[in-house]
Amino acid sequence: MPKIEDVLREREKRLSPLQRKVLEYLESHEDEVYSRKTAKELAEKIGEPSKAWGVYIAMWKLERKGLISKAKVGNRGYYGCHKAIKELVSRLEGNREAA
């Protein structure tokens, strides 16, 4: 019987080099989230400054595969590792309760 880690590892093998770079960066920076407008900043951080649109598409695809998460804040979607998005949502919900 395959273990969860084995299934996820196999799934990650099918990532493009850019998707892998984005995933590794987001997983190692659990306090950062990015939107379409800030994808250029992420592209620069991973050493791909000319691929801002590709980075945004990579985040979209990674979220579709369940490897990262997305949260909507107003009319903007933010992508990040699961922990970052969980923290963002938690803080947003805390602010709503305080209001």
Task: Supply the CATH number for residue 57's domain.
Answer: 1.10.10.10
Q: What is the number of other CB atoms lying within 10 angstroms of the CB of residue 89?
A: 15
- pLDDT surpassing 60 at residue 98: no
Arithmetic mean of pLDDT, 59-69: 96
Split into its structural domains, the chain has a count of 1
What is the spatial distance between Cα 79 and Cα 84, in angstroms, rounded to a whole number? 9
pTM of the model: 0.82
Percent of the chain surpassing pLDDT 70: 89
**What is the domain range of residue 46?**
4-98
